[in-house]
Chains A and B, each alone.
Chain A
Amino acid sequence: MVSVISTVDTAHEDMIHDAQMDYYGVRLATCSSDRSVKIFDVKGGQQTLVADLRGHEGPVWQVAWAHPMFGNILASCSYDRKVIIWKENNSAWDKLFEHSSHDSSVNSVQWAPHEFGLALACASSDGSVSILTYTDGKWESQKIKDAHAIGCNAVSWAPAVEPGSLIEPPSSQKLVPVKRFVTGGCDNLVKIWKEENGEWREEHKLEAHSDWVRDVAWAPSIGLPHSTIASCSQDGRVIIWTSDESTGTAWTPKILNKFSDVVWHVSWSVTGNILAVSGGDNKVSLWKESLEGQWVCVSDVNKGEGQSSTPTDTQPEQ
C-alpha cells in the first residue's frame, strides 16, 4: 500500500523527535535531541541539506511549517522553553522571532489554518497554551493559563471551515469561521478551545483516556458536515472523537485500538480518511475507516522491533 520514495540521512547526532514536510511535500524539516533543526530539499529522491538551524538550547521536540502564502516559515519548540520561528529570506534561513514566555518545556506547536492569518499555538509543560499572532508587523502573544493543570502535551487547530455551515442553506450573511483548537494534557483530558470576542474559552472537555494524552490531531475538512479529532495517550489508546451535529455540541468517542505501549503520534492524511499512528513500540500503523464506520488497520509501515532499520529491510509490500 505504501512505498518508499526516498530515505533521508539527516545526520542528526541524536534521536529525532519530529519530521515534517512542507505544504507541497518537497521540503523536510527534522528536529532532534542534538538541539538542531534541519531542513532538506528532497526533490526527486535527492536530498540536499538546506539549513541547519541552531538556536535552541535543549532537545527540540516538534517543528511546524506555516502555509506558504506567508513565505517559507518554520516554527520549532524545545525543552529549553522556547519557541523559535524561522524564515527563509533569499534562500537563507534566519530566526524571525523567539517566543520565550513559557516556564517549562514547550512540547507542541502548530500553525493555524491560513484563513486566520499567521497564528501559532504552542503547548507547554507549564500547563499553558500560548497563541502567537502576527499582526501589523508585530508578534502578539495570548496565553491560556492552566489549560491543562499538570502540563499540556499537544495542540491541533480545527480547520477554518465551520462544519455546521455547510449543510445550511446559503444565506446572504456570510459566517465568519470560528477559531478552534484541541489540546491534550497530563490531566488525561482532551479539551476544545474556542475564540470568542478575542478571548479563548474552553468549549468542551473530553474525558476518556486514563493516562496522559500525548497527541491530538484535528482531521482536515474536505467539506463534510462533521468534525473529527484523533487523540492518543500513554494508556495505549487511540480515540476518534466525532461531532456529527451541525452545532458541534456533542463529541462521541470511539476507541480505534488499544496498543501495548504508549502512543505518541497521530496524523491525518490530507483527505482525512487515513490515520497514521506511532508510538513507543516503534511501529507505525495506518488506519482507515471502512464504509461501515469501523476503523481497520490497512498497513503496518514498519514492523519496527526486531528488524534492522535499514531502509531495504523496512520496505513494506507495494
Chain B
Amino acid sequence: MAAHWSNENVSVDYFRESQATAMAVDSTGEFALLAGRRGLDLINLDNPGVHYPRVKRKGMMKWDISVVEWNPHYGRHKEFVTASNQVADLYAKREGDWFQEHSLKAHTRAISDLNWSVYEPDLLATCSVDTYIYLWDTREPKKPSLAFSTFAGAAQVKWNKRNINYLATVHEGDIRLWDKRKNSQAVQYISASLSKIHGLDWDPGSENFLVTASQDCTAKFWDVRDPKKTILELRTNTPLWRARYTPFGDGLVTATVPQLRRGEKSLLLWSQSNPVGAIHSFTGHTDDVLDFQWRTHKEGSNDFQLITWSRDHSLRIWRVEPHLQKLCGVDIPEPVSPQDPLISSFELVGTPKDPQMPLNGIGSSGGTPASTPGALNEPLVANGSGGVIGSPETTTSVGLLASGSYSQKPSLLEQEFASVKINLPNVTIQKMDVEGQFCTITAFSHRHILIMKIFFPPSYPEKATPKLVFLPATTLDSTVKHKLLKILEDTCIRQMENNKLCLEACLQQLSVSIDGMKLTSEIPSEPPTPPASSSYKQTSSLPSTYGSYLDNHIPFPRTSGARFSGVDKLVVFLRPGTIKKSGSHHTTPRALSSLSTLNLLKPLPIGPGPSSQSPEVLPSLLRNFYKEREKKQRRIGKHRKKTFGSDPSLPSKSSTTTGSATASSLVVLYSAVGLTPVHQELAKKYQFIRHNIPLMCTLNAEAAASVGRTDLVQVWSLAALSNSSELQPDSDADGETPWAQHPFGRQLLQTLFDHYSSLHDVQTLAMLSCAFGSISIQPSLPAGGSSQSQDVKSYLVTDSSDPIFTKEWSNEKSTQGMSFSESPDDYRFGENRDPEQIEKEQHRLSTRLLEPCLTAQFDAFKRSYADILYRWRLLNERAQVLNYVSCPSHTKIDLSFSDFGVICQKCNKRSYKVQCEHCRSYSFQCAICHTAVKGSSSFCLACGHGGHTSHMLQWFKTEDVCPTGCGCQCQANTKLVCEKSPLSTDPVVTR
C-alpha cells in the first residue's frame, strides 16, 4: 500500500560527506541547497546528477548551519542566507561564483531561525534564544534595522505571507505577533500551548491564519484575531517539529521532532477538512527528516513536488499525486490557476503577469494599480528600508487587506456579499467574512447537514473561481460530497465564463442539488424545516454551527450522572446497558467535535419521533456514537475500515435506536437515608423544652432509642446529667467553679461536637447546640416560650394554602419581619456598664457549657439543620431550632421593622428599628402592658396597634377587636391586608 502511495521519484543520496543539517529550495525551484558544517552543496533538482562545486564557508567552521533560506524574490533568486551560531551569512552569486557577501552579527546567542520578508527582498528577520528578534536591511548589514525584544528566546520567526507588516515568533508555548511599524511590543499574544512549539507557518491564503507544530503532538490552527481559541487541531502520536501549509488545497504537511528517531511515518500529509487522521504518509526515509520544502511549482501544472532532506543523507523528491491533492480539496480536472492564493506566496510575488492585478501595494499608496512586473521590484530597491517600512503605513494602518494592493477586491467581494439575497428553504449563510475572503454556509437535506466554506481567492472574480470546501461536520459520504463539489465548481466556471458572480448562483445550485439528492436517497422525504431567515438572524454573527469542528471546546455530553437532591435523595440517570461503548481501551472523547468527526461519513438514522426535525442532527449523532461503539465490538477482528456509508446493517441499527428510546429516558430516584447522618423520623420526634432541659434531653434520648440511634441515647443521657438542676451555675461570680469548667463540662461537650463534626451529623450538632445553648444564653425567657413562638409562627402565616413561602420573596421577608423572635440582647453591648456588670458578664460566659467563642459556629449548625428541616417541610421543628439562634442571621443584619415603620412613643418621629434612631429609646409600646416591646411582637397591619406577642395571643383568644379600643377588627383586617399585599406602599404605623 505504502509503496503505491509514495511517489518518491528521485532520491539523491550521495551527499553523505556534506553532513548537511539544513536544506532549502530556491524560488525558481531549480536548486536545492544543502548546508552543513563543511560547506554548501547545490543540487539541481531537475538533474540531480550534475555536480556543482561546493560553496566554501568562511570563518567559523566549527558550528553547524542551523537554517538556510533562499531569497524568495523574483530577480533575487541567486541569494541565500545561512545561520550558524550567532551569525547569519549572506551569500550571492556573482559572475558564476558564490561569495559570502555579508555577515550579520548582532545576536549574542545562537540564531534559531530566519526568514526573508515575503514582500521586501532586502528585508530579513532573524531570531535567537538571546530574546531578540532583529530585522535586517541586507543593504545595511552592519546592524539590524529594527529590534524586537521579549523575555523569552524565540524558536521561529515567520513573516506573514499576506501582510507586509506582520511577523510572528514562537517562544516556548506562546506565539507573539509583531507589527514592524511598532517594535515596542507585540501586537498580539497567543498562549498556544503548554508545551513547546517547534514550528509555525502562516496560511499562504490569508493574513489571519497560522498553524503551529508543538511538542504536545498537535498541529493547531489559529486565527490571530481570536487568540483564545484554536480553529482546528490535528493530533498525532509524536511531537511535531514542523507544520507547513501545502501550496495546494487545504493541506498541511507535518514532520516529527528529529531527535525522536521515529523514522517511519514522520512526514505526514493532512487535510484540514478531515482532521481525524493524516491522509498520507511519505515513507521512504530511513532516518529523521531534517527539513522539507515545496518546490516552486511550474505554472499551469498540477505537479507539486515536495523536497525532503533526511539524516539518512538522502534528498528525496516526492510528487504529490492528483488523488492526494484531491483529498486536500483540489479539483483536479481544472488546472489550478496560478493566481490561486493557496499557492505558495513567493510565487505570487514572482509571477505577476496580470497588469489588472496590482501586487502588494508597495509604493502604490493611492491605490492606483501598480503596473508591470518589472516595475514591481523597483520601488523596493529604490527605497531605503525605512522608506519601505514607512510608505505603506499610510495605507495599511488597519489590518492586512487594506494594504493597497487588495483594496479593490474586498470591495468587490463586499458588494457581492451584500447583493446576495437568497431565500432558500434549505440553505443558510452562516458567516460572511470579507476580510478573510470566505463565507460559511450550511444546508440541510433531510437528515443530512452540509457545512461548506467558500474561499474567494484574491484574483476572484477575474481569474479564479471560488474554492469550495466541506467542513468536517458535513454528514454526507465522500462520493456524494465529490459529486456536489463538482456540480458547484462547474456552476462557478460557467458563471465566470459569462462574467457573472458566483456566490448566488452557487447557492441556488446547491439548494437544487440537495433537493434532488433527497429524492434519490431512499429515506422517506420530509420537507426541510429550518426557516432560513430566522436561523440566519440568530446565528449570523456567530462563527460556529451545530456539530462543527468549532465544537472542539465544548465538552462531550454527559450521558450518565448522579445528583443528590433534597435531603437524602439521589437522582441517577444512566446510559442504558443496551447502548454502551466497547472494550476497556476506549475512553470517552473529551470534546463534542469528536462526535461529528466520528460520524463524518455516515448517514444519520431516522429520528426517534414524529416531531423530529433536521436540526436534531446532533442528538442523533450522540446516540450514534454509542451505537457505533457497540457495533465495532461486534465486528472485532474483522475488517475495521470506516466504510459506514455503505454499511448494509444500517436498517437493523435504526431499529435498535427506536427500541432503546425508552430505556435511555429513565431516571431512577434512590433514597440515601442510610448514608446521610440526618434522620427525618428523629427530627420529628425531637423535643424542645426550654424551661426543662434535663427533661428535653431525656425525651430526646427516648426518641433516639426509638429510631435505633444508640449512640445518641448515650449522648442525650449524658446531656441530661450535665444539665441537671444541681449543676446549675451559681449566679454569684464569687461562688464555686462553675460546672462548665469541669472536665465533664465544656471539655466533654467539645469532644462530642468534634466527633459529630467529623461525621457531618448536623442534626446532632444542632440539637446539642440548642440543648446546651439555651440555658445560659436566655435564662430569663418566660416559661413556655417554645410553644409560644411556635404559635406565633402559625399565627402570623396567613397564607393557608402553602405554608412554605413559595410564592414570592417578599412574602418571606415580610413574615420574617413580622415576628421578631431574635433577641435584642445585642443592643446591650453598646451601652456603658460598670465593672461589676463586666465581671458578671464574664462569669456568665464562664458558666456556659458551650464555648462562647464558637457561638457563630453553633448558630451555623442550627441554621444548617433548620435548612434541612425546611427541605423536609418540618416547619414547626424548623421554627423551634431557629428560636435558639443567638445572633441575627445574615440577611437581617439590622434588627428592624423591615418594611414597617412606627412612630416612636417618646419623640414622635418615624422609626424603623426596635430602638428609635432618634432618641435611642424603645420605640414600640405594648397595647396591653404599656411597656416597651423588646422581643417578639405582633401588631395589626390595619390599625398598627399591637404589643408583646404573648399578650396579643392572650387577648385575641377571647377578643376580636383591638385592645386599644380603636375598633379595628385586627385579625380579620390583617388577613385582608396581607392578601392585598400592602407592602407596595410605605405604611407608617401609628398608635
A, B assembled together: yes
Binding site for B on A (CB under 8 A): 1-26, 28, 30, 32-35, 42, 57-59, 61, 68-72, 79, 81, 103-105, 107, 115, 117-118, 125, 127, 146, 149-151, 153, 160-161, 165-170, 172, 174, 176-177, 186, 211-212, 214, 220-225, 234, 260-262, 264-265, 267-274, 276-280, 282-284, 286, 288, 291, 298-299, 301-302, 304-311, 314
Q: Is the CB of B618 within 8 A of A16?
A: no
Q: What's the minimum C-beta distance from B585 to chain A, rounded to whole angstroms? A: 10
Closest CB in chain A relative to B896 CB, distance in Å? 13
Tell me, yes or no, whether B75 is within 8 Å of chain A by CB. Answer: no
The distance in angstroms between the C-alpha atoms of A160 and B584, with both chains bound, is 42
Q: Which residues of A contact B646 (CB under 8 A)?
A: none
Residues of B within 8 A of A153 (CB): 555
Which chain B positions have C-beta within 8 A of A308?
576-578
Q: Are B622 and A33 interface neighbours, CB within 8 A? A: yes
On whether the beta carbons of B555 and A284 are closer than 8 Å, the reply is no
Residue B615 at the chain A interface, CB threshold 8 Å: yes
Q: What is the distance, in angstroms, from A26's C-beta to the closest C-beta of chain B?
A: 7
Identify B665's interface contact among A11, A57, A69, A167, CB under 8 A.
A11
Residues of chain A contacted by B964 (CB below 8 angstroms): none
CB contact between A17 and one of B559, B804, B856, B872 (< 8 Å): that residue: B559
Partner of A13 from B565, B590, B661, B677 at Cβ < 8 Å: B661
Residue from A9, A20, A150, A310 within 8 A of B228 (CB atoms): A150
Decide yes or no whether B984 CB sits under 8 A from chain A: no
Query: Within the complex, what minimum Cβ distance (angstroms) separates B582 from chain A?
Result: 10
Which of B574, B669, B854 is in CB contact (< 8 Å) with A8? B669
Judged by a CB distance under 8 angstroms, whether B609 is at the interface is yes
Q: Which residue of B lies closest to A153 (CB)?
A: B555
Indicate if the CB atoms of A271 and B804 lie closer than 8 Å.
no
- B618 proximity list for chain A (CB < 8 A): 33, 58-59, 79
Could you tell me if A13 and B555 are in contact, using CB atoms closer than 8 angstroms? no
Total A-B residue pairs with C-beta atoms closer than 8 Å? 366
Residues of A within 8 A of B573 (CB): 16, 18-19, 30
Judged by a CB distance under 8 angstroms, whether B566 is at the interface is yes
Whether the pair B228, A68 counts as a contact (CB closer than 8 A) is: no
Binary A-proximity of B877-910 (CB < 8 A = 1, otherwise 0): 0000000001110110100000000000000000
Query: With A309-B576, A314-B668 known to touch, is A149 a contact of B228 (CB < 8 Å)?
Result: yes
B678 within 8 A of A: yes
User: B619: which A residues are within 8 A, CB to CB?
Assistant: 13-15, 32-35, 59
B762 in the interface, Cβ–Cβ < 8 Å? yes
In the complex the two chains form, is B762's CB within 8 Å of A271's CB?
yes
A selection of 25 A-B contacts at a CB cut-off of 8 Å is: A9-B666, A11-B662, A13-B608, A20-B563, A25-B567, A25-B568, A25-B871, A30-B667, A33-B622, A68-B804, A72-B806, A104-B544, A104-B554, A107-B554, A176-B893, A221-B864, A225-B857, A269-B676, A271-B760, A271-B868, A276-B563, A277-B562, A284-B561, A304-B574, A305-B580
Are the C-beta atoms of B806 and A282 separated by less than 8 Å? no
Contacts of A103 in B (CB 8 A): 542
A272 touches B760 (CB 8 A): yes
Q: State in angstroms the CA–CA spacing of A92 and B673 once bound together.
A: 32
Residues in chain B near residue A59, CB distance under 8 A: 557, 618-619, 622
User: B553 to A223, Cβ gap below 8 A?
Assistant: no
Residues of chain A within 8 A (CB-CB) of B886 are: 170
Select one of B556, B580, B616 contacting A34, CB under 8 A: B616
Query: Which residues of A have CB within 8 Å of B229?
Result: 127, 150
**Closest A residue, CB atoms, query B678:** A271
Task: Kindly provide the distance from the CB of B719 to the nearest chain A CB, expressed in whole angstroms.
Answer: 19
Q: Which residues of chain A have C-beta atoms less than 8 A from B765's C-beta?
A: 222-223
Residue in B565, B673, B678 whose Cβ sees the most chain A Cβ within 10 Å: B565
Q: Mark B607-630, 1 if CB is under 8 A from A, else 0.
A: 111011001101110110000000
B190 to chain A, nearest CB (A): 10
Asked if B572 is an interface residue, CB under 8 A from chain A, the answer is yes
Closest to A226 in B: B757
Q: Is the CB of A273 within 8 A of B676?
A: yes
Q: Are B557 and A81 in contact (CB under 8 A)?
A: no
Would you call B857 and A17 a contact (CB within 8 A)?
no
The 4 closest A-B pairs by CB, nearest first: A25-B566, A223-B860, A21-B565, A280-B588
A160 partner residues in chain B, CB cutoff 8 A: 890
B356 touches A (CB below 8 Å): no
The answer to whether A177 and B890 have CB atoms under 8 Å apart is: yes
Residues of B within 8 A of A261 (CB): 587-588
Most chain-A Cβ atoms within 10 A of its Cβ — which of B587, B662, B665, B830?
A: B665
Q: Provide the residues of chain B in CB contact with A19, threshold 8 Å.
A: 561, 563, 571-573, 667
A176 touches B890 (CB 8 A): yes
Q: How far is the CB of A317 from chain B (nearest CB, A)?
A: 11
Q: Determine if A276 and B578 form an interchain contact, defined as CB atoms under 8 angstroms apart.
A: no
- List residues of chain A with CB within 8 A of the CB of B590: 211-212, 234, 262
Q: Do A301 and B665 touch (CB < 8 A)?
A: no
User: Which of B410-418, B807-815, B911-919 lies at the binding interface?
Assistant: B807-815
Which residue in B560, B569, B760, B861 is a CB contact (below 8 Å) of A282?
A: B560
B613 to chain A, nearest CB (A): 10
B817 CB within 8 Å of chain A? no
Question: B671 at interface (Cβ–Cβ under 8 A)?
Answer: yes
A79 touching B566, Cβ below 8 Å: no
Is B7 among interface residues, defined by CB-CB distance under 8 A? no
Cβ contact within 8 Å between A13 and B569: no
A223 near B577: Cβ-Cβ < 8 Å: no
Contacts of B553 in A (CB 8 A): 104, 125, 127, 150-151, 186
Do the beta carbons of B578 and A270 come within 8 Å of each other? no
Report the nearest B residue to A18, measured CB to CB: B561
CB of B659, distance to nearest CB on chain A (Å): 12
User: In this complex, what residue of B is CB-closest to A30?
Assistant: B667
Contact B864 A222 (CB under 8 A): yes
Closest to B664 in A: A15
Partner of A28, one of B554, B611, B669, B860: B669
Any A CB within 8 A of the CB of B752: no
In the complex the two chains form, what is the Cα distance from A37 to B615 in whole Å?
Answer: 17
Inter-subunit contact A71/B806 (CB<8 Å) = yes
* B668 lies within 8 A of A4 (CB): yes
Nearest chain A residue, comparing its CB with the CB of B626: A15
Bound CA span A72–B765, Å? 31
A35 to B578 Cα, complex, angstroms: 23
* CB proximity to A under 8 Å, residues B525-576: 538, 542, 544, 546, 550-551, 553-576
Contact B891 A309 (CB under 8 A): no
CB-CB under 8 A for A9 and B662, given A172-B826, A174-B888? yes
**Are A224 and B560 touching (Cβ within 8 A)?**
no
New A-B pairs, 18, CB < 8 Å, besides A14-B620, A25-B871, A271-B676: A5-B669, A5-B671, A7-B668, A12-B664, A18-B563, A24-B873, A28-B669, A58-B615, A70-B808, A118-B809, A127-B229, A150-B228, A222-B865, A264-B556, A271-B678, A271-B761, A272-B760, A288-B675
Interface string of B740-766 (1 = CB under 8 A from A): 000000000000000001111110010
- In the complex, which of the residues A118, A165, A222, A274 contacts B856, with contact meaning CB atoms closer than 8 Å? A165
- In the complex, the chain B residue whose C-beta lies closest to that of A308 is B577
- Chain A residues with Cβ below 8 Å from B565 are 20-22, 25
| Complex Cα spacing A172 to B571, Å | 43
Asked if B853 is an interface residue, CB under 8 A from chain A, the answer is: yes
Within 8 Å CB of A186, what residues of B?
A: 553, 555
| Cross-chain contact A174 with B893 (CB below 8 angstroms) | yes
* Interchain CB contact under 8 A, B805 and A61: no
Cβ contact within 8 Å between A7 and B666: yes
| B977, CB-defined interface residue at 8 Å | no
| Bound CA span A271–B544, Å | 42
From B554, B572, B576, A105 is in contact (CB under 8 Å) with: B554
Q: Are B555 and A264 in contact (CB under 8 A)?
A: yes
Instruction: Tell me the complex Cα distance, A30–B560, Å.
Output: 12
Q: Is B670 interfacial (CB 8 A cutoff)?
A: yes
Contact with A7, one of B567, B667, B829 (Cβ below 8 angstroms): B667
Is there contact, CB below 8 Å, between B558 and A270? no
Asked if residues B857 and A223 are in contact (CB atoms below 8 Å), the reply is yes
B577 touches A305 (CB 8 A): yes
In the complex, the answer to whether B228 meets A42 with C-beta atoms within 8 Å is no
